[in-house]
Amino acid sequence: MVNGEVTSNVMMKLQELQEQVLELPIKERWTLVQTLLASIQQETLSSIPPQPTLETLSELDPWTQSLIGVIRLESENPEESYVNYLEEK
């Protein structure tokens, strides 16, 4: 039951922290919000895999490389583009 106690303690600390934060002046709360958002953005950005670069694309098979850029979507909706393509056939 140790895990349950740890979770309970964390929840109590979180609740106490929230209560303390709500007592802060609004300027300090905004600063805290900005700090939290920056932290969340940093973690989110670091968890997103990087976009392929020309270097990684050069590692592809030459035939696969020849397909890059062949298909251009005319709309923001790929499904719609594909339906239009099928209708034209």
Query: Number of folded domains in the chain?
Result: 1
pLDDT of residue 30: 93
The residue behind tokens 């300090």 is: 28
| Distance separating the N- and C-terminal Cα atoms of the chain | 65
Q: What's the domain range around 38?
A: 2-88
For residue 57, CA distances in Å to 20, 47, 63 come to: 51, 21, 12
pLDDT of residue 37: 92
Rounded to whole angstroms, how far apart are CA atoms 40 and 7? 22
Q: Which residues does 22 contact at the CB level (< 8 Å), separation at least 6? A: 29
> What is the three-state SS of 8-40?
HHHHHHHHHHHHHHHCCCHHHHHHHHHHHHHHH
Output the tens digit of pLDDT for each of the chain's 89 residues: 567 777 888 888 999 999 999 999 999 999 999 999 999 988 888 777 766 666 677 788 888 877 777 766 565 666 777 777 777 76
pLDDT of residue 23: 96
pLDDT of residue 56: 72
